[in-house]
Amino acid sequence: MNKGRSAAPPGAARGPARHIPVLRERAIEALSVRPGGLYLDATFGAGGYTRAVLEIERTRVVALDRDPNAIAAGAALVSEFASRLHLVHARFGDLDDVAARAGFDAFDGIVLDIGVSSMQLDEIDRGFSFRLDGPLDMRMEKCGRSAADLVNEADEAHLADILFHYGEERLARKIARAIVNDRKSAPFTSTKALADLVARIVPHKPTDIHPATRTFQALRIAVNDELGELVRALQAAERVLKADGRLAVVTFHSLEDRIAKQFFAARSGRGRAISRLLPGEIAPAQPTFAVPGHQPILPDAVETAANPRARSAKLRFGIRTTAPVQVADIALEKLASLPDPARSGRR
């Protein structure tokens, strides 16, 4: 999704809130967009990447977003580019199924811009941000279990696992214990109430990031299964890219980047020793992606000065080979999952 905002930068998505896609030029360069090509923007947001692709002659784009607000706001872009843009309300983890239902089977490029969008952060009633008090929601699709449901119903151990593994919060157990204790007298329904509790527990200086940042990140990831969706999207992209097609992934925190990095490493055969096979030994799968060097690509000083939300962004990309699709990577799926309580001895 598109991160950041500006008054009217060149190439920004147009509309009431004009947002700058982070690393836009570098992502379009990584995709190597060509006239007449077919591309998939799996995280439409405000349409910044989609517009950049469509501004190249005769290109076509299939764009997805799980947020109904983004789909509604994209109607003007659909009208502007007529039959060249196909906008679908869907999760990016289902991108291959969506493409098949729409009659598309092979793409020249796919872009994924992972995480919460600045539009969602700026909408108080969505509950993604603690900057202003709003309902404790965080649902990208506006359906299913909310962050309030999770905070008020999950047991202490499960909450601690979420905060530790998805938020990398060192004081996860202490925060989870306080949540369980405080919700006995009154359930958590607002972003401010939860942020205040975390600020009470996590030591911080005025110059530090808000102490609730990691907790809110963790809950948002859990509510929307963001890491699981990313793993499914990467594997789906491998299935629908043409040979020489490009996959570009923009991430905003270490968990997302770790998954993207490991996917490209595994699929490119990076680190695999070249040796003769023993009799009866099965040959390793052929690399499905070639990964150019000098990655990840980071925003430059000009971009981070104009858009502070770009500071943590990283772009990785790969080029699809002719090798057959590989089986699902169990190690990758584990990165997206919480530990199994039974195996860890915790019940």
Answer yes or no: do 185 and 197 share one domain: yes
Q: How many domains does the chain contain in total?
A: 2
Residue 210 structural domain:
129-224
> What are the DSSP calls for 94-128, one per residue?
GHHHHHHHTT---EEEEEEE-S--HHHHH-GGG--
Of 168, 196, 224, the last residue of a domain is: 224
- The CA distance from 65 to 60, in Å, is 17
- Same structural domain, 76 and 133: no
My answer on whether 176 and 237 are in the same domain is: no
Residues contacting residue 289 through CB under 8 Å, at least 6 positions apart: 238, 247, 264, 267, 268, 318, 319, 320, 321
Q: Would 211 be classed as within a structural domain?
A: yes
Asked if 12 contacts 20 with a C-beta cutoff of 8 angstroms, the reply is yes
6 touches 307 (CB < 8 A): yes
pLDDT in tens, 103-149: 998 999 999 999 776 666 666 666 577 777 899 999 988 889 999 99
Q: Are residues 235 and 284 in the same domain?
A: yes
> Quick one: 201 and 270 in the same domain?
no
Task: Give Cβ neighbours of residue 330 (< 8 Å, ≥ 6 apart).
Answer: none
Confidence at residue 133, expressed as pLDDT on a 0 to 100 scale: 87
311 and 170 within one domain: no
Neighbours of 209 (CB within 10 A): 8
Cis status of the peptide bond prior to 296, with omega within 30 of 0: yes
Is residue 206 located within the same domain as residue 90? Answer: no
Q: In what order do the strands lie in the sheet with 314-320?
A: 85-89, 60-65, 38-41, 107-113, 241-251, 314-320, 289-290
Residues 106 and 82 in one domain: yes
pLDDT at 9: 34
DSSP run (H or E) holding 178: helix 172-182
Q: At what angle do helices 156-167 and 172-182 cross, to 10 degrees?
A: 140
Q: How many CB atoms lie under 10 A from the CB of residue 325?
A: 15
Same domain? For 328 and 230 the reply is yes
Q: Helices H, strands E: what count in the chain?
A: 15, 7
Residue 278 falls within a domain, yes or no? Answer: yes
Q: What pLDDT, on the 0 to 100 scale, is given for residue 157?
A: 97
Judgement on whether residues 249 and 310 belong to the same structural domain of the protein: yes
Low-confidence ranges of the chain (pLDDT < 70): 1-20, 117-127, 271-278, 280-282, 341-347
Distances (CA, A) of 266 to 50, 94, 208, 263, 270: 29, 21, 36, 5, 6
**C-alpha–C-alpha distance, residues 226 and 195, integer Å:** 21
Q: Are residues 190 and 324 in the same domain?
A: no
